[in-house]
C-alpha cells in the first residue's frame, strides 16, 4: 500500500477535470474548470499523461484511464501523421518544438516504465523523432525548433528544451533498462551527461548564472527577450527555477552514471546560487521568476513552478547528501506553500503570485499545470533514481 497523500489526491481530482471529451487535456482556470474555447496543447497533454501515469503506479483509482486518454491524444489528435512528430496543439499548426517533443518522450517513458498499455510504442516513436530531428551529436545537445515539414531548423538554441530533454532521456533510459536494453539506456544517459556538462559549464563561466538562450553556434545571447522579459518559456536573464531544476536533474543523473569532476559539485552549487540570489531579493517571501546579470530582479512575480522545483531539489539533494540544511529549506518552503501558494479550493497551486502574495497574471492565467506540483509532492516520499517514474516503481515495490 502506498502512503496516504491527500494533497496529491486533491490535485489529481482537479487535474482530471482537464480531460477534454474531444481529446487531450484542456486549460484549467482558477476554479479548476476547463477554459471554453481554448484548444488542447500538446505540452500540457504530455505532462498530464506523465502525471497520471505516475498516479496509476502510485495506486490512484482512475489514473490509468486518464493516462490512456492522454496517450490516445498523443497518438492521434496531436500527432502529425503526414510528417511525423507532434503539433504544438490540436489545431495542427505551428513549428515542431523540442520543448514539446521532450514531454512526449517523457510521457512515453513514464507509461512504459510503469507498465501501462501503449507506453513502449509511444516512447519508441517519440525517441525516433528526437534522435532524427532534435539531437545534435556534434553539440552534445538538442536543437530547438523546426518548421512543420522538418525542412528548416531555427538558429535559436535553448537551455529550457535541453533541460527537459535531459529529464526525458533519463526517464527513457530507465524504461529501456527495465526492458533489458542496457545499451540504449547507457547511450541516453551519456547524452544527458554531455548536455549537463555544456550547460553547467556556461553557468560556471558566469559565476553561477545560467544563460537560457544561444545561437546555432552555442554562443550565449544574454540580451535575448529583454523587451519581453516575462515570456513563459524564453524569459530574459537568469531563470531561478531552472537553476533549481538543473540541480535536481544533475543529482539524479549522478545516481545512474559516475559524474565527472566538473559536475560532481554542480547540484549543490546551482542550488546554493539559486537560493542565495533568487529567494526574497526584494524582501518579500518566495522566489522571483528572473534576475538580470547583476542579480537584480527582472520579473519579481512568484511562479508556482519555481517553488515546486525548489522543494523537489531540496528533497532530492537532502536524500542524497543527508545534509540537514536541505531539510530545513524544505520545511520552510512547505510552510510558505500552505500560507500563500496552495489553493485550498482546487488542491493545485496558484500559478503566479505578486511579491505581496496576491494572485497575479503577468505570465500565467488559471491553473493548467499539475506536473511540477505532483512531482514536488511525490519526490520526498521516494528513493532517488534517474527518473520519477523509476522512483515510484521502486517505492511501490
One pLDDT digit (tens) per residue for the chain, 397 residues = 677 899 999 999 999 999 999 999 999 999 999 999 999 999 999 999 999 999 999 999 999 999 999 999 999 999 999 999 999 999 998 899 999 999 999 999 999 999 999 999 999 999 999 999 999 999 999 999 999 999 999 999 999 999 999 999 999 999 999 999 999 999 999 999 999 999 999 999 999 999 999 999 999 999 999 999 999 999 999 999 999 999 999 999 999 999 999 999 999 999 999 999 999 999 999 999 999 999 999 999 999 999 999 999 999 999 999 999 999 999 999 999 999 999 999 999 999 999 999 999 999 999 999 999 999 999 999 999 999 999 999 999 8
Q: Give the pLDDT of residue 117.
A: 98
Q: pLDDT for 241-287, tens place per residue?
A: 999 999 999 999 999 999 999 999 999 999 999 999 999 999 999 99
Q: Where are the domains of the chain?
A: 6-396
Q: Which of 357, 303, 364 is CA-nearest to residue 27?
A: 364
Grid coordinates representing 299 are 520579473
- Residues identified as active-site: 242, 372
Q: Which of 170, 319, 132, 298 is CA-nearest to residue 246?
A: 170
Domain boundaries 6-396, corresponding CATH code: 1.50.10.10
- Which SS3 state, helix, strand or coil, does residue 145 take? strand
Residues paired with 79 in a beta bridge: 86
pTM beyond cutoff 0.85: yes
Grid coordinates representing 254 are 549522478
Q: pLDDT for 277-302, tens place per residue?
A: 999 999 999 999 999 999 999 999 99
Q: Which long-range contacts (CB under 8 A, 24 or more apart) does 4-10 make?
A: 5/58, 5/377, 5/378, 5/381, 7/342, 7/347, 7/377, 8/55, 8/58, 8/60, 8/374, 8/377, 8/378, 9/60, 9/347, 10/346, 10/347
Amino acid at each position: 500500500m502506498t502512503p496516504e497523500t491527500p494533497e496529491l489526491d486533491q490535485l489529481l481530482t482537479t487535474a482530471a477535470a482537464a480531460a477534454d471529451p474531444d481529446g487531450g487535456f484542456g486549460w484549467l482556470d482558477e476554479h479548476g474548470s476547463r477554459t471554453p474555447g481554448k484548444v488542447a496543447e500538446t505540452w500540457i497533454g504530455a505532462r498530464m499523461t506523465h502525471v497520471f501515469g505516475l498516479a496509476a503506479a502510485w495506486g490512484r483509482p482512475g489514473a490509468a484511464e486518464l493516462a490512456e486518454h492522454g496517450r490516445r491524444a498523443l497518438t492521434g489528435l496531436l500527432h502529425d501523421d503526414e510528417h511525423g512528430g507532434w503539433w504544438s496543439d490540436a489545431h495542427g499548426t505551428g513549428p515542431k518544438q523540442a520543448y514539446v517533443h521532450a514531454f512526449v518522450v517523457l510521457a512515453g517513458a513514464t507509461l512504459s516504465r510503469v507498465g501501462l498499455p501503449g507506453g513502449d510504442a509511444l516512447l519508441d516513436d517519440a525517441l525516433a523523432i528526437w534522435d532524427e530531428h532534435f539531437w545534435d551529436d556534434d553539440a552534445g545537445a538538442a536543437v530547438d525548433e523546426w518548421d512543420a515539414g522538418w525542412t528548416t531548423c531555427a538558429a535559436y538554441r535553448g537551455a529550457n528544451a535541453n533541460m527537459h530533454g535531459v529529464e526525458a532521456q533519463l526517464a527513457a533510459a530507465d524504461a529501456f533498462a527495465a526492458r533489458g536494453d542496457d545499451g540504449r539506456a547507457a547511450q541516453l544517459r551519456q547524452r544527458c551527461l554531455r548536455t549537463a556538462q555544456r550547460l553547467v559549464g556556461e553557468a560556471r563561466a558566469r559565476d553561477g548564472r545560467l544563460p537560457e538562450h544561444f545561437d546555432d553556434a552555442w554562443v550565449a545571447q544574454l540580451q535575448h527577450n529583454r523587451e519581453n522579459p516575462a515570456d513563459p518559456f524564453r524569459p530574459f536573464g537568469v531563470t531561478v527555477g531552472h537553476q533549481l531544476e538543473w540541480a535536481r536533474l544533475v543529482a539524479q543523473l549522478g545516481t545512474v552514471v559516475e559524474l565527472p569532476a566538473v559536475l560532481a559539485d554542480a547540484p549543490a552549487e546551482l542550488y546554493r546560487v539559486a537560493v542565495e540570489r533568487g529567494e526574497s531579493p526584494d524582501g518579500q517571501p518566495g522566489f522571483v521568476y528572473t534576475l538580470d546579470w547583476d542579480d537584480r530582479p527582472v520579473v519579481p512575480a512568484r511562479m508556482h513552478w519555481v517553488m515546486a522545483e525548489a522543494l523537489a531539489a531540496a528533497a532530492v539533494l537532502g536524500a542524497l547528501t543527508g545534509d540537514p540544511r536541505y531539510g530545513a529549506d524544505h520545511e520552510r518552503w512547505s510552510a510558505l506553500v500552505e500560507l500563500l501558494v496552495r489553493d485550498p479550493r482546487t488542491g493545485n497551486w496558484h500559478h503566479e503570485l505578486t511579491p505581496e502574495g496576491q494572485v497575479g497574471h503577468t505570465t500565467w492565467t488559471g491553473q493548467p499545470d499539475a506536473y511540477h506540483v505532483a512531482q514536488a509532492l511525490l519526490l520526498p516520499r521516494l528513493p532517488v533514481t534517474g527518473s520519477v517514474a523509476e522512483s515510484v516503481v521502486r517505492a511501490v515495490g
